Amino acid sequence: MYSATVSLDPAFVVGPVRRRTFGSFVEHLGRCVYTGIHDPGHPTADADGFRGDVIELTRELGVSTVRYPGGNFVSGYRWEDAVGPVEQRTPRLDLAWHSTEPNLVGVDEFMRWAARTGVEPMMAVNLGTRGVQEALDLLEYCNVPGGSFWADQRRANGAEDPYRIKMWCLGNEMDGPWQIGSKTPQEYGRLAAETARAMRMIDPGLELVVCGSSGSQMPTFGEWERVVLTEAYEHVDYVSAHAYYWEEDGDLASFLASVVDMDHFVESVAATADAVRAARKQTKRVHISFDEWNVWYQKRAESRPPSGDDWPVAPVLLEDRYNVADAVVVGNMLISLLRNTDRVHSASMAQLVNVIAPIMTEPGGRIWKQTIFHPFALTARHAAGEVLRLAIDSPVHETARFGEVAVLDAVATHDAESGDVVVFAVNRSLTEGVALDLDLRGFPGMRVAEAVTLSNPDHTWSATADDDTSVLPQPNTSAKVADDRVRAELPPVSWSMLRLVRE
């Protein structure tokens, strides 16, 4: 068994735990909306057709914000098609996912769902096939009280009060050749700047997200951020980052170490933003909205959209079935997001239901939690106060992709009001447990209130509608306190949480 030590002290703080770190994403893609959040024939459906059981699990998951309506979908979206009387709405082709969008759910329905679910909306505008004026029209519809064309249309459609949406995404992945209307960084940077400037003329208090790179593997990564921010820095608050990881060719060790790339991604984008800040002689900092992240097996058949004359409504797309190793990686990604809370001010796990999602549904039927549900829900529930800067002494092991990587990774939060300290940790070893030693001399007089571990000797186990409880986080009875130290054993390929409270 390996041995690792983690030292904590309340004086060493990274930054606050941000509730927006625990955001999610609802895109008109596959079965995320239709037969996902929206299923009028379901026994729990409300008057708008939204599933009550999905709303309940979204709350249990601890979701804070939800990005909408895309994603690649937004780059061809005409939002006006999905407002007003439902019976008068016209279906449209969705080129991004080779599907038909029936427009049964639009801005007004989504905003009612968000209000019932208790989440903050994060709206995206189409800068692929559209531009400044259409973004202004949508903002007017959503945020202006009345007395103008689009605001009065919203009121006529039943929403008397404005939605006052704060966070807006200026397009989606505009660096990607797969994106409808993709652009060079110069083209997009100028369009984003002009759109942001005009939107602030309507609502100066908006928080605006400019598109960063679609992944650290993009050939333009780094240069894209530099050029786009040089054009738009003064007018935006965040630059986006997107990252997906998956086990490839049986290389589990590299997959479990995916956060090495995620940390590098954050560090690189932050450095580039700060360089532009210096060159532009700006005082404010542009931070990161990591508004797409997850495990996604992109090469699987279910990730390929239909083709030819087949334009189905809500086809089965991107419905990955997650196993225990996937959940460990998701837990580690949350560790990374918290560890980088000084620069990552918002994040959105992609997506919420059915599409690379923690929640799965059957049309008109059952609902269940995937393995990745649990580390997200527990982290969202228990991370509070401030994120601590840890000193970690861990053995390393070799990986094919990243070289030597620490076996143990961890983050901790401290809530000064309650005194609680919560440690989140992963053991990335395939074969060896880790004897974890937490040095709590900076927090004397603590006891273990809760210790749980998610693991399984068969790390390929996945939840199903018939069984989503066989692999739940289990009590870790090895966690003990002695002389201001906590010792616990973490099995191979595992994610753990230890919650410590004052005696």
Residues acting as catalytic residues: 173, 292
Helix (H, G, I), strand (E, B) or coil at 244: strand
Helix (H, G, I), strand (E, B) or coil at 145: coil
Amino acid, res. 188: Y
**Count of C-beta atoms within a 10 Å radius of residue 47:** 7
- Which residues make Cβ contacts (< 8 Å) with residue 486, sequence separation at least 6? 436, 437, 438, 440, 446, 448, 479, 480, 498, 500
**In the chain, what's the furthest Cα-to-Cα distance?**
70
**Count of C-beta atoms within a 10 Å radius of residue 204:** 7
Give backbone dihedrals phi and psi of 33, rounded to 5 degrees, phi first: -90, -65
Phi-psi region of 457 (alpha: psi -120 to 50; beta: other; left: phi over 0): alpha
Task: Tell me how long the chain is.
Answer: 503
Give backbone dihedrals phi and psi of 311, rounded to 5 degrees, phi first: -125, 70
Select from 271, 327, 269 the least CA-distant residue to 295: 327
List, in sequence order, every beta strand (DSSP E) within 70-225.
92-94, 99-101, 120-125, 167-170, 207-210
Amino acid, res. 244: Y
What span, in angstroms and rounded, lies between the C-alpha atoms of 335 and 256? 13
What span, in angstroms and rounded, lies between the C-alpha atoms of 22 and 334? 9
Helix (H, G, I), strand (E, B) or coil at 24: strand
Token pair belonging to 122:
């994060």
List, in sequence order, every beta strand (DSSP E) within 118-206.
120-125, 167-170
Select from 196, 200, 141 the least CA-distant residue to 171: 196
